[in-house]
Amino acid sequence: MCAVPVGVDVAIEIIKGAALLLALCMLQSFNLRILRDRPGLANLVGGLLFGFICVVGMMAPLEVAPGVIVDARSVVLVCSGLFGGPVVAGIAAAMASAYRLYLGGQGALTGIGVIVACSALGLAYRSLYLRGVVGLGAWQLLVFAFLTHALLALGIYGMLPAEVAMELSLKFAPVVMLVFPPATVLLALILKDANGRIATERTLRLASGRLRAIGNAIPDLLFVLDEDGRYVEILSGSRKQLHAKADELRGRLMHEVLPKADADLFLAEVHRTIAAQGTQTFEYDLPIRTGEIRHFEARLHPLEQLPGRKRAVVLLSRDITERHESQVKLQASEARFRDLLQNIPSMAVQGYAPDGTTVYWNAASERLYGYSAQEALGRNLLDLIIPEPLREPIQAAIREMVQTGQAPAASELLLRDKSGSQVPVYSSHAMVDQEDGSKVLFCFDIDLSERKRNESELRIAAIAFEAQEGMMVADSQHAILRVNQAFTRITGFDSREVL
């Protein structure tokens, strides 16, 4: 044991002892990191480490009096209880107590009392912290450490002989109170940082595992690409959709594995996403490993730039080949349907939105109403062909059709053309739901003008044919086709005789 130093040497020796124990406590950080997935073993090793550090501190203490020593074990034991918990604190206290008992002397029982008290106070503060009563801020820890060592000092002085207590107070108490509380705070912050870092690593590892599991579960391709077009990460459960094997892609540039035109497209979209700092979407065709060309929809979103790393985006690529083919077929079918409607000579077809805006106007509509498609498209159908008296009922019929999905019954209407003239039509209606959720209404009008003229002429002819004067109808060969009743009455010939 060292002889009792005097003056500033006391402070130097205590600081050296505390520094040694703080340095040894760094081993606990490595223990927590190495055994982070085995908490039981980590507690056992942690207890042994803290106990060993206390023993090392007691091997070269400052001896105040025969059998009375001063060392920094209180700093270590308080932190063993605070950050290690009951198992770690218990093992450390048992080892430290056993060695202090082995050293013996008149201060042995007092030293064991200090060991037990430090461990208990550390555990008490841990309990308060876990219940949210106190925190682990630097000032809170400093107050706790100061009060702890003040209580220990009072207890020690009460248990030691008066002359020893007096010498201890004069030579060591001021230095101990100036060194040990800050040393306790420093060690606590080191262990707090180590625990926080391990907790963060565990959280990140769990999050990474979940992300990888999600990536493997979804059928889509998931990439991380940097601003140079390099494959940083490949998260995908559907490896057969890749252009090449995942191991062959990771770390390589797109221009090294993709056709130049495709690589240029991808790189341009990566740069556009980074510049916009928002989600971008585009579609592309690409051959997969089997050689089959598939159609994909890609969504890119920028990632937060990490220090020292290049800017990057995450790219989600979905195989939409079947949907794309269906859309192509549907568009072709719609084109054929529109061509058919466009070329029907006897049926005027108008398409319009629920607000009346005209979106389709075929050639028969141009002939019937006098408006060209260029003039009609974009204008309101009510303003084009609906007379003022019919506007309100037709607007009500449109609202009902949109709300119920039921088209009104077909009927004869008297509409108007570009010149304002009346146009009699037989009108029927239909509604089509678009892919984007919008609705388009169609009106199918058959021109009744010719029929109305024929009916009028027939009515006139019927009236005239039933006149009092004798009338007959003959063809170009002078063959009599029809006679009226007045003819038979005047001539006396029956109609069967002259026809």
Q: 352-377: per-residue pLDDT in tens?
A: 999 999 998 988 888 889 999 899 99
- Is residue 187 pLDDT above 80, yes or no? no
* Mean predicted confidence (pLDDT) in 296-312: 85
By percentage, how much of the chain surpasses pLDDT 90? 10
pLDDT of residue 200: 82
Q: 133-152: per-residue pLDDT in tens?
A: 888 888 988 888 888 877 87
- Is residue 328 pLDDT above 60, yes or no? yes
Q: 425-467: per-residue pLDDT in tens?
A: 898 888 888 777 788 888 998 888 777 776 665 665 666 566 6
Do 62 and 5 touch, CB atoms closer than 8 A? Answer: yes
**Per-residue buried b or exposed e for 39-53, using 16+ beta carbons within 10 Å of the residue's own CB:** eeebbbbbbebbbbb
What pLDDT band is residue 326 in, cutting at 50, 70 and 90? confident
Question: Who contacts 6 (Cβ-Cβ below 8 Å, separation ≥6)?
Answer: 171
Q: 211-215, 274-278, 360-364, 390-394 — which is least confidently predicted?
A: 211-215
Q: 220-238: per-residue pLDDT in tens?
A: 777 888 999 888 887 765 5
Q: At 487, which amino acid appears?
A: F
pLDDT of residue 36: 73
Q: 80-91: per-residue pLDDT in tens?
A: 888 888 998 999
pLDDT of residue 314: 87
- Please state, in angstroms and rounded to a whole number, the distance separating the CA atoms of residues 284 and 35: 48
Greater model confidence, 63 or 398: 398
Angle, alpha carbons 438-443-446 (nearest 5°): 165
pLDDT of residue 214: 67
pLDDT of residue 379: 93
Closest CA to 221 of 140, 311, 328, 299: 299
Mean pLDDT over all residues of the chain? 79
What pLDDT band is residue 4 in, cutting at 50, 70 and 90? very low
Greater model confidence, 93 or 483: 93
Angle, alpha carbons 92-181-176 (nearest 5°): 95
Phi, psi of 64 (to 5 degrees): -80, -45
pLDDT of residue 189: 82
Q: Residue 465, Cα to own-chain centre: how many angstroms?
A: 83
pLDDT of residue 1: 46
* Residue in this structure with the two tokens 């009792």, named with its chain if needed: 4
- Please state, in angstroms and rounded to a whole number, the distance separating the CA atoms of residues 51 and 57: 10
pLDDT of residue 3: 44
- Please state, in angstroms and rounded to a whole number, the distance separating the CA atoms of residues 127 and 48: 22
Cα distances (angstroms) measured from residue 142 to each of 6, 25, 443? 27, 19, 84
Give 5-8's long-range contacts (Cβ < 8 A, gap of 24+).
5/62, 6/171
- Please state, in angstroms and rounded to a whole number, the distance separating the CA atoms of residues 377 and 356: 11
What pLDDT band is residue 157 in, cutting at 50, 70 and 90? low
pLDDT of residue 87: 92
pLDDT of residue 336: 74
Do 318 and 395 touch, CB atoms closer than 8 A? Answer: no
What pLDDT band is residue 2 in, cutting at 50, 70 and 90? very low
By percentage, how much of the chain surpasses pLDDT 70? 78
Q: At 450, which amino acid appears?
A: E
- Is residue 325 pLDDT above 80, yes or no? no
- Is residue 6 pLDDT above 50, yes or no? no
- Please state, in angstroms and rounded to a whole number, the distance separating the CA atoms of residues 314 and 331: 32
Q: 1-5, 26-30, 32-36, 94-98 — which is least confidently predicted?
A: 1-5
pLDDT of residue 8: 52
